Structure 1
Amino acid sequence: MRTMRSWFRDTTGGLPTTFWYLWSGTLINRLGSFVLVFLAIYLTQERGFSASQAGLVIGLWGVGGAFGTTAGGTLADRWGRRPTLLTAHVGAAAMMLALGLARDLWAVALGALLLGMFAEAARPAFGAMMIDVVPAKDRLRAFSLNYWAINLGFACAAVLAGLAAQANYLLLFVVDAATMLITALIIFSKVPETRQVGPATATRAAPRGALRTILTDRVYLGFVALNLFAALVFLQHISMLPIAMGDDGLSPATYGSVIALNGILIVVGQLFVPRLIRGRSRSHVLALASVVMGVGFGLTAFAGTPWFYGLTVLIWTVGEMLNSPSNSTLIAELSPAELRGRYQGVFSLSWQIAGASAPILGGLVREHAGNDTLWYGCAALGLLTAVAHLVSGPARERRATALRRSGEALAPATATRAPQPAEA
C-alpha cells in the first residue's frame, strides 16, 4: 500500500492547479468524442455515401483542421491562449450540431470543414498553455497524464457511441457538442491566461519574423515531417479500419468495442510508460514506436474476426504509447518560448495534413489496389519512419540542448516577473 501511495504521489504530485483544470477539460471533452470515431460508419451506413465520399468528408475535416491549427497557433501567441481556447470550443460545439443536422453531401462536407477548423484551433493554444504552466522537469509525466485522460475518455466514448449509434446517430453529435461547451465553461471559470510577455520576448526573435524562423528551422520541420508519416499510418484506424471491419460483416458496436481496447490499454499502461522510457534515447524510443505501429497496422491485412482485429489494435497501441510522451516533450524543448503557439500550430498542422490525406489515400489505395495493399503499405511506412528517426535524432537533441541553455541564460532576467503556478 505504501508503495502504491508513493507511486501515485510521484506520478501526480506537485503539478500546477491550472494543469489539473486543463486535464479535467480534456477528460470531459474526450468522454463525448463520439463523432470522429464513428464518422466513417455514419457516412457510409446512415447517409449512404461511398468509401471515397466518406474519405473526402473526413479529409475535409483535416483540411479545416490545417487552417485551424495555423490560425490557432498565431492567435495563441498574439491574442492569448485562453480566448483562443474559448472561441475554438464554442465554435466547434456549434459546428458539431450543424454537421449532425446536415443531409446533402455538400452540406456535410462544409460542416466537416468548419468543424475541423474550430476543433483543431484549440490544439496549439492548449499545448502552449501546458508548456507555460508545467516546469520542464515535470512535462513528461504531465503530458503522459493528459494523454491518459484523452484515452480514458476515448475508451468510454467508443463503447458508449457504439450503443448510441444503434439508437440515434444524432445523439452522438449532441453529446459531443455538450462536452465541448462544458470544457469551455471550465476554461472560462477556472483557467487564467498563461501567455507571458516580458524581456525574454524582446531579446529573442520578433513575432513578425515567426514564419521565417519556423521555415528555416530544418531540424524542427524534419521532426514534423516524420510525425506526418506516422500520422498517415495511425489515422487509418478512424477512416479505413471501420470500413474494413464492416466489409467483414462486423457491426458498429463491434468496432466500438474493438477500438475501445486502444483507450483501455493506454489507461492501464500509460501511467507506467514514463518510468520505462525515462533516461532512454528519445530517438530510439520513437523509432521503436514507429516499428510497432507499422507491424500492428500491417497485421490488419490478416484480420477477419473481432479477436484478431483486437489483437492488431493492442499491438499498434503499444507503439502509440511509446510515441506520444516522447513527441510531446520534444515539441516543448524544440520550441522557442515566444513562439510556442506557432510551433505547436506547425506540429498540429502535420496531424491535420495527415487527417486530410490519410482517409483519401487510404480509400484510393483500398479501392484500386486492395485492402491488403493498404495495410502492407502502412507497415512499410512505419519501418521507413523508424530509420529516419534514428538518423535525425542526434541533430534534434543538439537543438534542444542549445535552446535549453539559451532559456537558462535568460531566466535570471525574468525570474522576478514571471508568475509561479500554484501547486495542486
Structure 2
Amino acid sequence: MQRWWLLGRLRAVPGPTRLLLLTQLAFNVGFYLVLPFLAVHLAQDLMLAGWAVGLVLGVRTFSQQGLFALGGALADRFGTRPAVLAGCALRVTGFAILALAGDLWSVLVGAVLTGLAGALFSPAVEAALAEQGAGLERRGTITRSELFALFAVCGEVGAVAGPLLGALLLRVDFALVCLVAAGAFVLIGLAHVRWLPRSAPRHATEPVLAGWSEVLGNRVFWLFALCYSGYLLSHNQLYLALPAELQRAGHPWALGWLFALASLLVVLGQLPMADWARARLGPRRALPLGFALLSAAFAVVALDVWAAPGWGALTPAVSMVVLLTFGQMLAVPTAQDLVADLAAERRLGAHFGFLSSVGGLAVLVGGAGVGHLLDGFGALPWVVLAGVPALGGAALWLLIGRVREGHPVPDSEQ
C-alpha cells in the first residue's frame, strides 16, 4: 500500500518536480553502488595502509560537504540545469578514474571529483525543490514540507537499492561497480538534458559569490544553521558511535541489519510523519520534538552502557536507531522548508549550501571529539551526544518563534 501511495504522490506533482525527486533516487543508487565498498577495495585490492584509506574517505567527504556553499552559489548564478549537468559530468569522470586507479594519488583525484560533483548538484536540486514547492503549495498541490518528505523517501530508496546492486556487481570486479555507477550518472545527465526545462537563473547578471554576503548577513539563518548542525552530528553517529556500541555489546554483525531497519522506517514512515507534523504540530513543535527524539536516542544508550553482553545488549542500539530515524523524519523536511522561509525565498542555493557546510564542519570537529570520548569513557560520550540535540532543539524552539508567516521577523522585532 505504501508503495502505491508513494507513486500516487509522485504522480501528483508536475513533471519537472517529479524529475528532481527521481533524480535524488538515481543519485543515491549511483553513489551507494560504490561508496560502501570503497574502503574495502582500497585496503584489500590496492593494499593501501589504514591512514591512506582514512585520508581518501576524509578528502572525499570534505570536497563535497565543505564545498556545498560554493556549489550553492554556482547554482544561484547559473541555474539548476547547468549545475546538475556539471555535477554529473564530474561524477562520471571521478568514478571512471576510481575504476582504473592503481595508486593513492589517482584514487585521491577520483575521490575529490566525486565529492565536488555532489557539492555542485545537491544544493542545486534542494534549492530548485524549495522554489518549486512554494508555487505548488500556493496552488494547493502539495506543501513544501511534504515535497521534502518525498525527496527523503526517494533518496532512501536509492540508498537501499545501491548497495544491493553494488554487492552483486562486486562479485565480478570493483571496476565494474564504478563503471555501472558512472553509467547511472550519464543517464541522469541525459534525463536532465531532455526533460528539465531551461530557466533563467534569478541572479544571472551578478558575480558568483555575490550571494555570500547576503547569506553571511542573515543572522537568523546563521543561528538556525548552527542549531541544526546538531542534527547532522547526531545522524553521523550511525557511522561512528553505533558501530562502537555494537562492538561493546558483542554484536558487530548487526550493523547492516540496523541500517536496513533505518531505511525501512524512512521508506514506510516518512510521508505519514510529515503529514502528521504539518497537520498537528507545525514547525515550532515538530522540529524541537525531532531533536528531542535525537537526544533520547543517545540517552537510552547512556542508561544501559554497562549492560552485560547477550541478546538483550542489542536493545540500546536498536532503540538508538529507531529514535534517531524518527527524529530525522520529523526534523529534516521541516527544517528544509524553513530554510527557504529564513532566506526570504532568495539565494536558495547559497543558503542550502551553507547549511550543509556548517553541518559538515560540525561533524568534522565534533566527530573527532566524540571518537576520543568513545575510547574508554563509559557513558560520558552518550551523555554529551544527548546534550547536543537537546540544546539545539531548545534553541530552535526559541528561534522559530521569531519566524512569522514563513518570513524572518524584521530586525526591529528581534
TM-score, with structure 1 as normaliser = 0.78
CA displacement at 1:104 relative to structure 2: 4.9
Cα distance in 1 for residues equivalent to 2:41 and 2:126: 30
Cα distance in 2 for residues equivalent to 1:48 and 1:370: 33
Q: Is 1:384 aligned with 2:391?
A: yes
The corresponding residue for 1:24 is 22
The corresponding residue for 1:284 is 285
- Per-residue Cα deviation, 1:306-332 (whole angstroms, up to 9, x for no partner): 954444322211111111110111012
Q: Aligned AA for 2:68?
A: T
- Tell me the secondary structure at the aligned position of residue 227 of structure 1: helix
Distance 1:328 1:363, change over 3 A: same
CA displacement at 1:48 relative to structure 2: 6.9
Gaps of at least 5 residues in structure 1 are 404-424
Q: Aligned AA for 2:112?
A: L
Distance 1:141 1:258, change over 3 A: same
Distance 1:207 1:83, change over 3 A: closer
Paired-residue identity, %: 23
Whether the 8 Å contact between 2:96 and 2:179 is mirrored in structure 1 is yes
The corresponding residue for 2:178 is 173
- Per-residue Cα deviation, 1:180-209 (whole angstroms, up to 9, x for no partner): 2222221121111344449xx99xx99875
CA displacement at 1:86 relative to structure 2: 0.6
Cα distance in 2 for residues equivalent to 1:357 and 1:209: 28
CA displacement at 1:38 relative to structure 2: 5.0
Q: Is 1:315 aligned with 2:316?
A: no
Cα distance in 1 for residues equivalent to 2:174 and 2:247: 17
Moved more, 354-363 or 126-135: 354-363
The corresponding residue for 1:262 is 262
Distance 1:175 1:379, change over 3 A: farther
Distance 1:362 1:41, change over 3 A: farther
Distance 1:353 1:175, change over 3 A: farther
Q: Aligned AA for 2:86?
A: T
The corresponding residue for 1:192 is 197
The corresponding residue for 1:250 is 252
The corresponding residue for 1:341 is 349
Cα distance in 1 for residues equivalent to 2:168 and 2:385: 30
Q: Aligned AA for 1:334?
A: L
Q: Aligned AA for 1:182?
A: L
Moved more, 228-237 or 44-53: 44-53
Cα distance in 1 for residues equivalent to 2:165 and 2:245: 21
Distance 1:401 1:350, change over 3 A: closer
- Tell me the secondary structure at the aligned position of residue 271 of structure 1: helix
CA displacement at 1:139 relative to structure 2: 1.4
- Per-residue Cα deviation, 1:15-42 (whole angstroms, up to 9, x for no partner): 2210111122222222332344455666
Whether the 8 Å contact between 2:290 and 2:328 is mirrored in structure 1 is yes
Cα distance in 1 for residues equivalent to 2:358 and 2:150: 23
- Per-residue Cα deviation, 1:40-83 (whole angstroms, up to 9, x for no partner): 66666777778776555433223212453122212112122101
CA displacement at 1:397 relative to structure 2: 3.9
Task: Say how many residue pairs are matched.
Answer: 393
Distance 1:166 1:357, change over 3 A: farther
The corresponding residue for 1:61 is 60
Cα distance in 2 for residues equivalent to 1:151 and 1:8: 13
Distance 1:27 1:399, change over 3 A: closer
TM-score, with structure 2 as normaliser = 0.80
Distance 1:223 1:397, change over 3 A: farther
The corresponding residue for 2:188 is 183
Distance 1:45 1:348, change over 3 A: same
Distance 1:81 1:307, change over 3 A: same
Cα distance in 2 for residues equivalent to 1:362 and 1:161: 31
- Tell me the secondary structure at the aligned position of residue 401 of structure 2: helix
Q: Aligned AA for 2:76?
A: D
Cα distance in 1 for residues equivalent to 2:385 and 2:43: 23
Cα distance in 2 for residues equivalent to 1:195 and 1:145: 26
